[in-house]
């Protein structure tokens, strides 16, 4: 089998992730979050998880397109929005993702007593994993999550993954990897969509419009309950 499309390329230098790409099958889901939680002091409380799905044979071309839009090896959507040219780049990237990837967004309310949004995050993960493995991913498929910081948060995410494996929502044959956009720029994609969804929930449709106008965007709104 020709695995040239899984080779290192500009924007991708994660050797552990490459090994997992080689041992899994089908499309790959890249996942990131955005949220507004009670501890943040804002008036709306919600949690968003987004997966963007890329076909294996399109990995290198998709990376190249994201890098071309960014103009550099660094991207953070929040920071891009602070610059006039950055706003244009967000819109261009949103349009590209709408045209060339499948996008799934899970969103939910955050209860006032869920101060850090961890219960909402766990519920969103459960629904996202369910949708992905029911309709989009191979049972030996691959999900790449943007890793949270080492320590308590990363431990919570590991526990959440184990919980949904034990509930048989995630196949035991699947692989879930906590990566960084510094080593895999395809993680820029869900950052763009999650951030744009956040803006939409605060009544700014500017950046979501290209995505909602596309044909490959699925939104699932759930009520956060204790899983």
Q: Which domains does the chain have, with CATH numbers?
A: 31-222 (3.30.420.10)
* DSSP E strands, the chain: 28-36, 46-54, 102-109, 142-146, 175-179, 217-222
What is the Cα 127 distance to its own chain's centre?
Answer: 14
pLDDT digits (tens, 9 = 90+) for 76-112: 999 999 999 999 999 999 999 999 999 999 999 999 9
At residue 226 the predicted structure's pLDDT band, cuts being 50, 70 and 90, is: low
Q: What's the pLDDT band for 43 if we cut at 50, 70, 90?
A: confident
> pLDDT at position 41, please?
77
The mean-pLDDT minimum among 7-11, 106-110, 140-144, 161-165 falls in 7-11
111 vs 127: CA distance, rounded Å: 17
- Tell me what pLDDT residue 8 has: 87
Comparing 46 with 39, the larger pLDDT belongs to 46
Contact 202, 107 (CB under 8 A): no
- Tell me what pLDDT residue 182 has: 96
Query: Which phi-psi region, left, alpha or beta, contains residue 141 (left: φ > 0; alpha: ψ -120 to 50)?
Result: beta
Tens digit of pLDDT for each residue in 152-182? 899 999 999 999 999 999 999 999 999 999 9
Average pLDDT over residues 195-216: 94
**Percent of the chain topping pLDDT 90:** 89
Q: Mean pLDDT across the stretch 186-192?
A: 98
Torsion of CA 37, 42, 43, 46, to 10 degrees: -30
| The pLDDT of residue 1 is above 60 | no
pLDDT tens digits for range 13-29: 999 999 999 999 999 99
Mean predicted lDDT score pLDDT of the chain: 94
Q: Report the DSSP pairing between strands 217-222 and 102-109.
A: parallel
Asked if residue 2 has pLDDT above 70, the reply is no
């Amino acid at each position: 089998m020709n695995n040239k499309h899984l080779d290192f390329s500009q924007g991708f230098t994660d050797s552990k992730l490459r090994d997992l790409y080689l041992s899994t099958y089908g499309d790959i889901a890249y996942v990131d979050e955005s949220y507004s939680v009670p501890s943040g002091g804002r008036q709306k409380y919600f949690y968003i998880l987004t997966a963007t799905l890329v076909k294996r044979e399109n990995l290198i071309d998709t990376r190249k397109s994201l890098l071309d839009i960014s103009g550099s090896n660094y991207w953070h959507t929040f920071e891009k929005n602070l610059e006039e040219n950055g706003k244009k780049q967000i819109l261009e990237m949103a349009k590209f993702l709408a045209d060339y990837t499948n996008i799934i967004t899970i969103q939910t309310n955050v209860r006032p007593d869920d101060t850090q949004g961890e219960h909402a995050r766990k519920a969103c993960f459960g629904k996202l994993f369910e949708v992905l493995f029911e309709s989009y991913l191979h049972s030996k498929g691959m999900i790449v999550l943007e890793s949270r910081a080492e320590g308590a948060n990363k431990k919570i995410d590991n526990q959440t993954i184990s919980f949904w494996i034990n509930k048989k929502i995630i196949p035991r044959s699947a692989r879930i990897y906590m990566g960084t956009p510094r080593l895999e720029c395809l993680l820029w994609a869900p950052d763009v969509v999650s951030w744009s969804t956040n803006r939409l929930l605060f009544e700014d449709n500017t950046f979501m419009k290209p995505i909602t106008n596309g044909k490959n965007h699925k939104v699932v709104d759930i009520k956060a309950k204790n899983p």
